[in-house]
Structure 1
Amino acid sequence: MNVITKTVSLPDGRTISIETGKVAKQCDGSCVLRMGNTVLLATVCAAKDAVPGTDFMPLQVDYREQYAAAGRFPGGFTKREGKASDNEILTSRLVDRVLRPLFPSNYHAEVYVNVMLLSADGIDQPDALAGFAASAALACSDIPFECPISEVRVARVNGEYVIDPTFEQMKDADMDIMVGASAENIMMVEGEMKEVSEQDMIGALKVAMDAIKPMCELQNELSKELGKDVKREYDHEVNDEELRTRMNDELYQKAYDVTKQALEKHARQEAFDKILEDFKQAYTEAHADMSEDELEEKAAMMDRYYHDVMRDAMRRCILDEGIRLDGRKTDEIRPIWCEVSPLPMPHGSSIFTRGETQSITTCTLGTKLDEKMVDDVLDKSYMRFLLHYNFPPFCTGEAKASRGVGRREIGHGHLAWRALKGMIPEDYPYTVRLVSQILESNGSSSMATVCAGTLALMDAGVPIAKPVSGIAMGLIKNPGEDKYAVLSDILGDEDHLGDMDFKTTGTKDGLTATQMDIKCDGLSFEILEKALMQAKQGREHILGKLTETIAEPREDLKPQVPRIVQIQIPKEFIGAVIGPGGKIIQQMQEDTGSTITIEETDGVGKVQVSGPNKESIDSAIAKIKAIVAIPEVGEIYEGTVRSIMPYGCFVEIMPGKDGLLHISEIDWKRLETVEDAGIKEGDKISVKLMEIDPKTGKYKLSHRVLVEKPADYVERPARRERPDRGERRQRQEHNDRRPRHDRGERRPNQETNSFNDENREPKDFNDSLDHMDF
């Protein structure tokens, strides 16, 4: 084995090593990345030839985490890894977006990049290392690739920028940005922030570039040492340069004229398509001697060449005349209209339309039972804010069936989720779900989701801290030219034919999320700063349109929203509220029609009660408070008679708390039986708690002290009589009917010398004698 190991250091002294030549040697390229106890295996395999007719880069990036890496079993019945989780898909997208632009434009062989997490101790975050590992695997191969890249995570912790922070450090971070770049150029940015300034974000990007450069140098050294700096030859395109020149000469001006007409999306596309169709028809008529196969081959070339013609026409029109495809200025936002509550039954709903992009978004409020459980390899938690983004084919006028959720939908939804999640109060009792259905799309549908989500949250009465808006920025910059144009609120074609897709979201006070993809060779920090400041102006304009529609969250929830009240109880009462086998809490839910959930957090029990109306919630809370309340001597209670004995009756003064109302304490006059006072089981009676036995915890109650004493009443001398055997037996029968945890003689946490613990041994012989009945 020719094992080669290279090491690079991070600013804080931690090291990352790349090793190749030991494992997975049948791949075109493979390497093992190590950082502390985190180990990633990256492999890359490419087909030797392209599939005939392929005119794009068929790249597939898969990042997968093995549960064994953290010493865990997968969940589910099969107990093995299944389909990729959202976290794995998002990490795969981050790597794909950096690698894809660096393959040659005429290279069409299938390429598969796989990154696998093999070991992790939960200290370092492996997703930040996946891009570095994938690029290193390409560097170990002869697959054509422009230059190595790497990815790092930048966080700002206590005012200091940190490269690839640990999970623990992220708890104190106000910025979390993933940056992918070559040694010279930034290729990708994605992350979230807590309302930071544009200058703070630029500072993070500069720190990231400084950390990425030595990682790229390491890969160049590795490639040379392996002899892989000379890449394989390929021939995946057949070109006709004469045809390319002819099409550019004949069609460029026609395409330029269509660009200046400011047509709507479908009309513009039809106009562009007609130019190509007319050219193909004329070419076919002029070359009647060609075979059908030759004409098909020429038609495929025409499609590629015409794409370049349209691209050049659109770019020159913007750079030379400042005219965009829809006639707007470079910093102009498309017309916006908004509406809240377009749907009657969702808890909150909105429509946001910007130009030819439209989202209808709904907000649903649920209980703690509706939280999403996350069960990833290194993250087992619950999510109480969910955002789902759907992009059906009809939103672009395509006639095809809707399939399952794709990677793009997961990525766009995650960006909108990051933009809004920081605005929901941490102590908000509801679980919140936003669903964005894109009804029309012509660019920036993820930013439309952010805006529509803000409106739907406020319409539902969610007390968000501040409204959030989003905008997508574009860039036109030809190689070798100093002239460039930054475009606000880009169209779909401007994204496709341009050099940048830079999305930013934020409040009036700062950025909350960002995503940027770069297609050009270079992006200076001067251009980046201009794009950020122009985006800020656009966001503020859009924010004004949102607040014109609804200025702040509604004060009250809609009638169909389940009400939720959250209270705290001492943790030692959690068991009493739940009851044996959940008996008490289930009975309370049945009696009140509410839903009750309890969890222990920070040493207290957090009880969440939800119900269809205020009455059911109030009733449930009253029952809970009665259980956790501690009876106090001297207090008066409205009790319920639970059982009647010859010597008195037992009265429930609180749920599960009974006291003895002796026959002598019912009235000032002498009673022969309890029935003489007209008392029967189930009656309500006011009693005063006179005494709590310090040994047994039993409650002594009195009703007569609440009644005026007769003037002729003569106090009898106190006499203590031992209850006869029948009375003792009846008292025991009553105690047997009570829940075991509430029997006075075994009440927990009582300071007593009695034998509360059946397993307790007497201290000595005399101690045991004290408890014997001679």
Structure 2
Amino acid sequence: DSIVMVEGEMQEVSEGEMVDAIEKAHEAIKAQCEAQNELAKKVGAFGNKREYNHETHDEELRSRIQDEMYPKFYEAGKTGATKEERKSRFSDLKEAFMATMSDEDKAEKGGLASDYIKSAQKKAVRDLILNEGLRLDGRKTTEIRPIWTEVDYLPGCHGSSIFTRGETQSLTTLTLGTKLDEQLIDGALVRKNEKFLLHYNFPPFSTGEERPLRGTSRREVGHGNLALRALKPVLPPTHECPYTIRLVSEILESNGSSSMATVCAGTLALMDGGVNIKAPVSGIAMGLITDLDSGKYAILSDILGDEDHLGDMDFKVTGTADGITACQMDIKIKGLSFDQLREALEQAREGRHHIRKAMLTEISEPRDDYKDHAPRIVSLEVPGDSIGAIIGPGGKIIQEIQAETETTISIEDVDGKGMVEIAASDKAAIDAALTRIKQIAFPPTVEVGEEYEGKVKTIMPYGAFVEVLPGIDGLLHVSELDWKRVENVEDVLKEGELVKFKVVGRDPKTGKIKLSRKVLLPKPEGYVERPPRGDRGDRRRDRGDRGDRRRDRGPRPEGPKNEG
């Protein structure tokens, strides 16, 4: 009849809508649980629970520690100390008691004593909250820790922010990439490209620890996924923001709610980078302290790490002014009633509003434009049958365009159409790449009599092949290079050189384009055109009938004979 765990991603729904959805889901879950119980009964496994028996107990030691240590922990909890000060005080109290034990008792009961001390500390902290409404750092149950924020903290990034709440701090950076930077999700049931990435890093030094880094932990993956789900509903559609967006949250200090600090810092970094999000998102972690005997409970806003550890609930809620975007709840007690859930959500809404208000004092809306050093992306739709021509054999053409214009180009087939994305930090580079691609995808016709400029592709003894338009070459004959006689083509042109020319015609048989360079040059003074050669006819026939020359020669004179 109660809630055990909640995990969700929403499109700015209200608290009431969320509770209604959970209630309906709860009814469906009951039917599933009943079916499982029936199956367990059929195989004789229903109700077979093993009881946990503690290995040893020492009631005398437990009572002594409870009587001596509980009041000391209770008073220490009232001081409103910082995390490190509180940790040091609790540790000193524990060491002071352990010092009263003999070496023999320490060896025999040291482990039990340590467990009993932890229990006394936990009860003291919980009773302090339930009885006096006072928390370990001196706050009331609904109070939020002091907040400090700053955007453009790292000017070299496409966007950045630092968000500090109490002793929890996140430094988040924004990187804007192209379609080539999308992450391929290759799962068992889904295969897709993800345009929004969020990475959460929790280094050991953030909690004052020192240990080797052995790759990304499950905790980091889970917290990053929660923050991603919180921000994803407010991102602009692809046609407004064609970028691949990557946020990286570095937790520099942690004392609870670091994932919610990531959400807040991520929102600020997006706004600093000029990403036109629908609305700013803030997040808060709620806690719960309950006394099952008396029925008393207290819901805590913006919990500390100790309150997470010693409390009964960790309930994270993120959202905008209009509603919730994501949530995650884990509890340590048997369950949470729907009345408690409603109260926690309402208290979380007020906390989110307070945090969002503090964030908006730093930057109230997304910047009008992206940073100057952020890449600019232009999209272009081309005919599907031109994709191959743009890419070229083995990617030759597209790689050539990228190298010459210093851009990044991606192209894909979408429903039979080619979608091209061109990215560069320089507008002139994008324009140059656009021109090249448009010439290939929408090739203009080569007009006879028009002047062009193209690159010399190949030099031959009889002339040079020059690129008139992308993919269209013409022959610039050696006789059309200059008004004067040219013996060697390479004396005038070099491969890769740009040359201006005029299209003077087409070969009627082959359709090849004829080019001329000399017609664009001034004609030398006194230049006389060579007259065209006349029709010389069949010179062999003009000689007349020469007859049988061998018969006309007569007999050959005989030479002297060799004797002997």
TM-score range normalised by the length of the shorter chain:
0.7 to 0.9
Partner of 1:395: 206
Relative to the length of structure 1, the TM-score reads 0.60
1:283-302 alignment to 2 at 5 Å?
284=101, 288=102, 292=104, 294-302=105-113
Which has the bigger relative contact order, CA under 8 A and spacing at least 6?
2
Residues 361-384 of structure 1 show CA distances to partners (whole Å, capped at 9, x for unaligned) of: 112222222222222222222222
Partner of 2:44: 227
SS at match of 1:186: coil
Query: Which amino acid in 2 is paired with 1:191?
Result: G
Query: Which amino acid in 2 is paired with 1:223?
Result: A
Query: Which amino acid in 2 is paired with 1:438?
Result: I
Residue of 443, 447, 453 corresponding to 2:266: 453
SS at match of 2:256: coil
Residue of 225, 250, 254 corresponding to 2:72: 254
Residues 591-614 of structure 1 show CA distances to partners (whole Å, capped at 9, x for unaligned) of: 112221111123321112223422
Deviation of 1:438 after TM superposition, in Å, equals 0.9
Query: Which amino acid in 2 is paired with 1:500?
Result: M
**CA–CA separation in structure 2 for the residues paired with 1:580 and 1:644:** 22
**CA–CA separation in structure 2 for the residues paired with 1:605 and 1:253:** 74
**CA–CA separation in structure 2 for the residues paired with 1:393 and 1:246:** 37
Partner of 1:127: none
The answer on 1:656 being equivalent to 2:498 is no
1:311-390 alignment to 2 at 5 Å?
311-390=122-201
Partner of 2:244: 431
Query: Which amino acid in 2 is paired with 1:398?
Result: E
Asked if the contact 1:418–1:512 (Cα under 8 Å) also holds between the matched residues in 2, the reply is: yes
SS at match of 1:373: strand
**CA–CA separation in structure 2 for the residues paired with 1:244 and 1:390:** 41
The answer on 1:475 being equivalent to 2:292 is no
Give the aligned CA root-mean-square deviation in angstroms.
3.4
Deviation of 1:557 after TM superposition, in Å, equals 3.0
Asked if the contact 2:380–2:420 (Cα under 8 Å) also holds between the matched residues in 1, the reply is: yes
**CA–CA separation in structure 1 for the residues paired with 2:450 and 2:359:** 54
Partner of 1:565: 378
Deviation of 1:390 after TM superposition, in Å, equals 1.3
**Structure 1: which 5+ runs fail to align?**
1-183, 663-671, 707-774
Deviation of 1:575 after TM superposition, in Å, equals 0.7
1:331-730 alignment to 2 at 5 Å?
331-427=142-238, 428-631=241-444, 638-640=451-453, 653-658=468-473, 675-676=482-483, 683-685=499-501
Residue of 99, 121, 126 corresponding to 1:281: 99
Relative to the length of structure 2, the TM-score reads 0.81
Aligned residue pairs, count: 506
Asked if the contact 1:638–1:653 (Cα under 8 Å) also holds between the matched residues in 2, the reply is: no
Residue of 71, 81, 85 corresponding to 1:263: 81
**CA–CA separation in structure 2 for the residues paired with 1:697 and 1:417:** 59
Asked if the contact 2:201–2:251 (Cα under 8 Å) also holds between the matched residues in 1, the reply is: yes
Query: Which amino acid in 1 is paired with 2:321?
Result: K
Partner of 1:46: none
Residues 95-117 of structure 1 show CA distances to partners (whole Å, capped at 9, x for unaligned) of: xxxxxxxxxxxxxxxxxxxxxxx
Deviation of 1:357 after TM superposition, in Å, equals 0.5
Deviation of 1:405 after TM superposition, in Å, equals 1.6
Q: Which has the larger Rg?
A: 2
Asked if the contact 2:480–2:516 (Cα under 8 Å) also holds between the matched residues in 1, the reply is: no
SS at match of 1:558: coil
Residues 509-554 of structure 1 show CA distances to partners (whole Å, capped at 9, x for unaligned) of: 1111110012222322111111111111111111112121122223
Partner of 1:48: none
Q: Relative to structure 1, is the Cα distance of residues 524 and 231 closer, same or farther in structure 2, using a 3 angstrom cutoff?
A: closer
Residues 17-60 of structure 1 show CA distances to partners (whole Å, capped at 9, x for unaligned) of: xxxxxxxxxxxxxxxxxxxxxxxxxxxxxxxxxxxxxxxxxxxx
**CA–CA separation in structure 2 for the residues paired with 1:608 and 1:209:** 46
SS at match of 1:584: helix
Q: Relative to structure 1, is the Cα distance of residues 220 and 632 closer, same or farther in structure 2, using a 3 angstrom cutoff?
A: same
Q: Relative to structure 1, is the Cα distance of residues 677 and 190 closer, same or farther in structure 2, using a 3 angstrom cutoff?
A: farther
Asked if the contact 1:488–1:535 (Cα under 8 Å) also holds between the matched residues in 2, the reply is: yes
**Structure 2: which 5+ runs fail to align?**
487-491, 521-564
Q: Relative to structure 1, is the Cα distance of residues 401 and 233 closer, same or farther in structure 2, using a 3 angstrom cutoff?
A: same
The answer on 1:209 being equivalent to 2:26 is yes
Deviation of 1:234 after TM superposition, in Å, equals 5.0
Partner of 2:8: 191
**CA–CA separation in structure 1 for the residues paired with 2:116 and 2:500:** 91
Q: Relative to structure 1, is the Cα distance of residues 422 and 635 closer, same or farther in structure 2, using a 3 angstrom cutoff?
A: farther
Asked if the contact 1:454–1:467 (Cα under 8 Å) also holds between the matched residues in 2, the reply is: yes
Residues 419-473 of structure 1 show CA distances to partners (whole Å, capped at 9, x for unaligned) of: 1122222312222221111111111000001111111222222222222111001
Query: Which amino acid in 1 is paired with 2:30?
Result: K
